[in-house]
Amino acid sequence: MSYPSVERFKDVTDRNVLALQEAKQAGVKVVGQYCIYSPLEIALAAGAVPVSLCGTKNDSIPPAESILPRSLCPLIKSSFGFALEDSCPYLAASDIVVADTTCDGKKKMFELLSERKSMFMLQLPQIQNEPALAYWKGQYERLVRELELRFGVVIGEKELRSAIRKANRFRLALKSVLDLAKKKPSPLSGMQLMEIAHRASFVPDWDKATELLEDMAREVDASGESPFAASAPRILLTGVPVGLGSHKVVKLLEDCGASVVCLDNCSCYKKVRLMIDENADPLDALASRYLDTPCSVMSPNPNRYAVLENLAAEFRVDAVVDLTWQGCQTYDVESWSVKRFVREKLHLPFLQIVTDYSPADTEQLKVRVEAFLEMLR
């Protein structure tokens, strides 16, 4: 189902690359980021444009496998393949790349990438407690000093507070769109939710994007229409990030008759789950909010289960599907605990899907998905 406001958003974001190049020509700096532990607000406070860099295309994987192991996560290989071929305009435009030491595969890939691109590493603690929070704030202080030095700017409390307000408004606008799927039936498909969140990761003009998202939320909310029957099984998709090019499981679920109402991953709902406290010390607030991210690299990772419980209730889901990329050890191991939690605590059906970006296993996955959905019906 198409809405004029969604099409306007697509039209504007189709020009993201051109708009970014125009901003570069005007002297604006670009900060590439690989993970949502990297704070958008510090880049904004430096007067720069933050853009997402994680690879979501299968095309860039074969060249990466000339250096990286074939058994490695496709997201890592896709990201590195873009760098090898110099085929990602956002990476090419980045004046500096901020990367986080999340999983081991990414950490080692970043070492190789640093030979080709100017990098700044945030050393992420993998536990969420007070000592880790103090340490993480120190990492953000390092990033502030680095961007000040590189870009010749001052990033003070005033600049950080302004950036926090801008980012909060943007997040609230995107969240208001994603939250529309709480309606039954959802007025937006999971594919639309995924694409909107994906496109929002590359916009150079945040004010314009925020206005477009706010318009979209109002129009879709008022429409009263839906591409789904009220009886369509409502799915919460959790796990690894997805984007345009790595969306086959989202599409497959909906092609088989389900409605994906929430994508609990760092490419979609995790980006908007929490706002930043605008009244607290800026770096304290940023460190607290970002360290709270419930990624499987955290050990233990209690936030993930609390978030799942809340989202399952808020979106009134009928089942949980856990998507894991082949070679992603932390999400793969954690899936057993997630399954137990979903079945025993939430009393919901659960399905784990382990796959990669290739379409080779689509028919095999379709059989599993159809059987799962039939059980729900």
Give bridge partners of residue 179 from the DSSP assignment.
none
DSSP 227: S
Q: Burial of 359 by CB count in 10 Å (0-12 exposed, 13-18 middle, 19+ buried)? A: exposed
Sign of the dihedral defined by the CA atoms of residues 244, 245, 250, 252, in that order: positive
* Six token digits for residue 169: 């408004």
Count of residues in the chain: 377
Ordered structural domains, the chain, with CATH: 26-163+227-377 (3.40.50.11900)
* Six token digits for residue 199: 């496109």
Alpha helices in the chain (DSSP H): 4-13, 16-25, 40-45, 61-64, 74-85, 89-93, 104-113, 130-151, 157-178, 190-199, 206-223, 248-255, 282-291, 302-314, 329-344, 362-376
For residues 98 and 117, give the distance between their C-alpha atoms in angstroms, rounded to a whole number: 10
- The DSSP string of 170-181 is HHHHHHHHHGGG
Q: What is the pLDDT of residues 72-122, one digit of tens each?
A: 999 999 999 999 999 999 999 999 999 999 999 999 999 999 999 999 999
- 3-class DSSP state of 237: strand
For residues 33 and 246, give the distance between their C-alpha atoms in angstroms, rounded to a whole number: 18
Closest CA to 123 of 42, 38, 239, 43: 38
**Do 126 and 299 form a contact (C-beta atoms < 8 A)?**
yes
Confidence (pLDDT) at 36: 94
How far, CA to CA in Å, does 361 sit from each of 94, 107, 248, 364, 372? 35, 29, 10, 5, 17
Q: Is the pLDDT of residue 1 over 80?
A: no
Confidence of residue 377 (pLDDT cuts 50, 70, 90): confident
**Average pLDDT in the chain:** 97
Q: Burial of 118 by CB count in 10 Å (0-12 exposed, 13-18 middle, 19+ buried)? A: exposed
Strands 119-122 and 49-52: unpaired
Confidence (pLDDT) at 315: 98
Confidence of residue 54 (pLDDT cuts 50, 70, 90): confident
For residues 287 and 17, give the distance between their C-alpha atoms in angstroms, rounded to a whole number: 30
User: Rounded to 5 degrees, what are φ and ψ at 257?
Assistant: 110, 0
For residues 26 and 336, give the distance between their C-alpha atoms in angstroms, rounded to a whole number: 50
* Six token digits for residue 152: 């010749």
Q: What angle do CA 207, 208, 209 make, to 5 degrees?
A: 90
Q: Burial of 312 by CB count in 10 Å (0-12 exposed, 13-18 middle, 19+ buried)? A: buried
Q: What is the pLDDT of residues 363-376, one digit of tens each?
A: 999 999 999 999 99
Confidence (pLDDT) at 2: 84
- 3-class DSSP state of 326: coil
Q: What is the pLDDT of residues 185-194, one digit of tens each?
A: 999 999 999 9
For residues 215 and 6, give the distance between their C-alpha atoms in angstroms, rounded to a whole number: 9
Mean pLDDT to the nearest integer, 134-147:
98
Mean pLDDT to the nearest integer, 199-228:
96
Q: Is the pLDDT of residue 342 over 80?
A: yes
* Six token digits for residue 97: 């790349």
Sign of the dihedral defined by the CA atoms of residues 185, 192, 53, 144, in that order: negative
Q: What is the pLDDT of residues 266-324, one digit of tens each?
A: 999 999 999 999 999 999 999 999 999 999 999 999 999 999 999 999 999 999 999 99
How far, CA to CA in Å, does 288 sit from each of 137, 138, 144, 317? 8, 12, 16, 29
Mean pLDDT to the nearest integer, 349-373:
98
